[in-house]
Structure 1
Amino acid sequence: MKMRNQCNYFKVLILCILAASTHAQLELGFYTKSCPKAEQIVANFVHEHIRNAPSLAAALIRMHFHDCFVRGCDASVLLNSTNQQAEKNAPPNLTVRGFDFIDRIKSLVEAECPGVVSCADIIALSARDSIAATGGPYWKVPTGRRDGVVSNLLEANQNIPAPFSNFTTLQTLFANQGLDMKDLVLLSGAHTIGISLCTSFSNRLYNFTGKGDQDPSLDSEYAKNLKTFKCKNINDNTTIVELDPGSRNTFDLGYYSQVVKRRGLFESDSALLTNSVTKALVTQFLQGSLENFYAEFAKSIEKMGQIKVKTGSQGVIRKHCALVNN
């Protein structure tokens, strides 16, 4: 009996060791020994190029968000389609930009340390560095993520919040990722530097309920202005509209101001006013300091960046971000 108990003890011990190696944690400076220049290479490339293309900051943080909401932060959004349609071909990702930017950073890092730094970490670092480089908040990015090998269009459609999502849908999709209503309000705040094509919200202007009507939750003067000067018909798929007019390149509190004025461009923006908790949070952040918003935003995006990450022996380090290793 004693021998059997000892055997059971060692079996449990071995399982615990295996579990620990499989579920390793992210850590700051993960590449300090294996690729000490990795984070600096990313930062240098971002700082060198973002000044000529500041709109990429919004694109990269959006890519980070879309990646983490499907299979966790594993760079599956970067994979090309093979025998099944990949995430990047899903409607929510057709306007995602920055793939080439990430590829160029990856090539530089691979030249320095082949097969060491994941595409998932490059996305997370690039998003942070681009926002910081354009004067926005800076947040900690613990590293050690590994890349996934599966990318599924249907999962992207199911998990990424859409511009027309109502509050219930938003709350559910965020909760599925371990994010709460405060995270919803804070991460929506990134729309302060975003842009959109008219087709993402034109139904609010021209055919909200299928009867040729306008969304009553959208400020009527703002809607009139959009129809007159921007989105002149429901099928306009080329005109770009700022989510936070007048400060699209400034990470500030302007987005919340637009929401309070009922000028949030998307239904998902307006939805923040339909729940007492999120409405109060919008007001709280708008009336607070920019420094407080930055600090709170940092907490939420750090939390988002750790959704279902693959670490330890999970996942792989992809040699090319768009391809599964041979």
Structure 2
Amino acid sequence: MEIEQSRLEQTLRRIAGLDELAMQNAERQIDRLTKPPGSLGRLEEIARQIAGITGVLNPDLSRKAVVVMAGDHGVCEEGVSAFPAEVTPQMVLNFLNGGAAVNVLARHVGADVVCVDIGVNSDIGHPDLLVRKVGRGTGNIAVGPAMTREEAVQAIGIGIETVESLVDRGYRLFATGEMGIGNTTPSSALLTALTGADIESAVGRGTGIGDETLRRKRDVIGRALRVNRPDADDPLDVLAKVGGYEIAGLVGVILGAAANRCPVVVDGFISSVAALVASRIAPVAKGFMLPSHLSHERGHRLLMEHLGLRPILQMDMRLGEGTGAVMTFPIVEASMKLMNEMATFESAGVSGKETE
């Protein structure tokens, strides 16, 4: 535990604020481009943010990875999902064989899918799978904690280490993805515990459950909060008591990206819960996050409000896997190309805006 805790603390010490000088330089460059001020809207905002994250105006973001953390959940015993738990390892194999939606979209945008078994309750044999099991599925949060605090710290560390290894291989743009049948239940529990939101607002239909299962799911989350009594002032306590291994892994991915001054595109509901936990552990890390899309899952808008982030896309998606985040990669890249490849008023011989 001491080693894992030390690694986490070292990572947190490396997370610094955005580079204000680089952002000012980006602002000046954007204002020189052949367009009315502010006319490219969010693309300008993203370009400034990327400059602040990386410290340069033209970073090489060509190597892109979506990190898909996979883990099972003991709370599935309560019948909270439309799919059985054995779908988790089946879908992991689908990722590894290139057949899932995230694979198709990643190929489309030139990104790589990195799949990590951080807590699947099955042994999956595949040469491309990163096996970093903390456990074989979490505990049933309706009757006790999901994991120990030590396991939560370990899972965060795995996310950090995954990013560190990818940075060493030249990756500079990251996205969060996840797979874990039942994981909207712990995610909703985390949202409720960390924000004080009511269960009705925080809990949605996940994989498409019916009304009866939805009522059961809300009851299970209420029981989980009463049984475990997570401390809202201690994000690690909340994560350990009602979270998931893959959620904790994504917390580490976000913190690791921030420590390495790399932008991280946050996917939908589950990934945004991980972003909320990461922001509670290291508030400055929020500056390194780009929110990809507004999930159709109930509670995601509330999450965005608490994070103070505005999703870039609205596609009515709720698949997870990192699909919405991967769809956002081209927009991030486009913002950088516009800032660096557009002609300026001076270079194009175009008259600039007149001053009054």
TM norm structure 1: 0.29
- Larger Rg computed on CA atoms: 1
Q: Give the structure with the larger strand fraction.
A: 2
TM norm structure 2: 0.28
